[in-house]
Amino acid sequence: MGKRVLIVGGVAGGMSAATRARRLAEDAEIVVFERGPHVSFANCGLPYYLGGEITDRNKLLVQTPERLMAAFNIDVRARAEVVAIDRAARQVEVRNLATGMSSYERYDALVLSTGAAPIVPRVPGAERPGHFILRSLDDMDAIDAWVRERGAEKAVVVGGGFIGLEVAEQFHRRGLQVSVVERNPQVLKPFDPELAAHLHAELRKRGVALHLNNGLARFDAPAAGEDAGASVVVLANGARLAADVVILGLGVRPESKLARDAGLDLGTTGGIKVDAHLRTSDPNIFAVGDTIEVTHAVTGKPALIPLGGPANRQGRTAADNIFGIGTKYPGTLGTASVRVFDLTAAVTGANEALLTAVGIAFEAVHLHPNSHAGYYPGAKPLALKVLFAPDTGKLLGAQVVGADGVDKRIDVLATALRAGMTVDDIADLELSYAPPFGSAKDPVNLAGMAAQNVRAGRVAVIQWDEIARLDRSHTLVLDVRETKEREGGTIPGSVHIPLGDLRARLDELPRDMEIVAHCATGQRSYNACRVLMQNGFRCRNLAGSFKTWKAAQDGAQ
């Protein structure tokens, strides 16, 4: 008989480990313990069932215990919770949640895939009925039933992360009035604020009320005149939001108690500490998924990055190492995307806040290229940001927001980031081109070229948030757009000379001041800087120009 492999927890990491283990070792005995009723389901699809985009609940069930036994000879035990690990005896205590009885199971190798638990705020009234988290099919069913049976009309989503925004979108689709509460100044912390600003605008355009920079204080029972089927959500500034249903989307924390109680090492983040082979401090125990502390693939620092894709690959890696293959997990980039009505937002690698926090030097370029050739119908503008090391040009991170072609660009950039590419490399990538799908110079190529210009000193850039701190006695802001474009707004105090007139009007510009040039997106102002610099002026180009600056101003409202 081969190895006896026990896996605690199913879904992404656990089931990936189990099926990979079976493919590697037909003689292994593989047992999966799942405390919930469903061992393998599409948890990322839960919000879309609530909104009615997914209509068949059964499609969310990826595998059942019966199918797993038939296809893989894996013994799956649902409603079975592992409550203790005896490392010396190499056994676990398992409680049958239906009967309350306990049993003991021996292992040669143990995989912990216990996941992460939603954060529930410790504020008065949090336990009131009509408040939900969304983690499981049971949670989804309970929310759906509450909304239907109570005729809910007003929803408050507490937390502007990925799940929070997906639920907000889907409740809106269902016809509810939706408010999103976020204690930070922006939604989606992995994004920099000027990118998140585009999502703020889209949410507000759809009628979603955003309460940013305003945390949760408590949940009250409705007072006289307050029509709330669940609670009145009271914010830090005293605002009172009546809610018929409340969704708590405040993030998750690793479920590492089982490991901690067994004496396994935890990392500084609270996740289970593992090595590159996903082995814990006990050589016979592995851990995968949202419960572990990973190494951020850009910063090299410990991080918690709860995502389904990495969890699946970690499960495979753990199984490889149980059976002697010696695969290493390379760290997590945090590549993720989310749809918010007509926009898609996607991110990979590190953002400015993370790079600043860990002391990594960076430069950033902003672009607003079209998703495909502008002359072909349906082209949509993208907001694209690329961060890179100023000395080596190595990619550090990227963010994209737009209505079309976002996933394509972030996947190329995530691949380049994993490969250790530089901005020179992405400038020269050979990407497919046809008018309905792209441009001869793809947005990824253009980002590399813009970064090359910065590194080569052909232009210096200034970021949108630096404009407010400029000393205007020594700096002139030059708008090189056409006159009609200024009707849509201007940077206060800017001087206007259209690019086509610039060469003839150079004598109107002071040579003893630095000039910050901008256009709509940055391309014309780059050309303006090249004219000015070759005529003896000091010039910096506003990265992303007016579009980025304006989005950031509007998004902060």
- pLDDT tens for each residue of 262-292: 999 999 999 999 999 999 999 999 999 999 9
Q: Where are the beta strands (DSSP E) in 148-265?
A: 154-158, 177-182, 209-212, 216-220, 231-235, 240-243, 245-248, 252-254
pLDDT score for 12: 87
Q: What are the catalytic residues?
A: 44
User: Domain residues of the chain, as ranges?
Assistant: 4-116+253-322, 131-250, 342-455, 460-555
pLDDT score for 433: 96
Which strand (E) or helix (H) includes residue 344? strand 343-349
Instruction: Answer whether 268's CB lies under 8 Å from 302's CB.
Output: yes
pLDDT tens digits, one per residue of 250-267: 999 999 999 999 999 999
pLDDT score for 445: 98
The whole-model pTM stands at 0.95
pLDDT score for 38: 84
Work out the burial of residue 439: count CB atoms within 10 Å of its CB; fewer than 13 is exposed, 13-18 middle, 19 or more buried.
buried
- 131-250 and 342-455: same fold? yes
* Cβ-Cβ contacts under 8 Å for 492 (sequence gap 6 or more): none
What superfamily would CATH give domain 131-250? FAD/NAD(P)-binding domain (3.50.50.60)
Count of CB atoms situated within 10 Å of the CB of 153:
15
Give the helix ranges, DSSP H, for 323-398: 352-358
Instruction: Answer whether 545's CB lies under 8 Å from 519's CB.
Output: yes
Half-sphere exposure for 371 (CA within 13 Å, toward CB):
20
pLDDT score for 65: 84
What superfamily would CATH give domain 4-116+253-322? FAD/NAD(P)-binding domain (3.50.50.60)
Nearest in space to 372 (alpha carbons), one of 385, 358, 382? 382
CATH of domain 342-455: 3.50.50.60
Mean pLDDT of residues grouped by 10 in the chain (557 residues)?
92 93 97 90 93 94 84 94 98 96 97 94 94 95 97 97 97 98 97 98 97 96 93 97 97 96 98 98 98 98 96 97 97 98 98 98 97 96 98 98 98 98 98 96 98 96 97 97 97 98 98 97 98 98 97 86
Instruction: Answer whether 444's CB lies under 8 Å from 365's CB.
Output: no
pLDDT score for 357: 97
d(CA 258, CA 386): 40
Nearest in space to 351 (alpha carbons), one of 191, 199, 185? 191
Which strand (E) or helix (H) includes residue 338? strand 336-340
CATH class of 460-555: alpha beta
Count of CB atoms situated within 10 Å of the CB of 136:
16
Torsions phi, psi of 77, nearest 5?
Answer: -120, 100
Give residue 16's Cα distance to chain centre.
22
d(CA 557, CA 547): 16
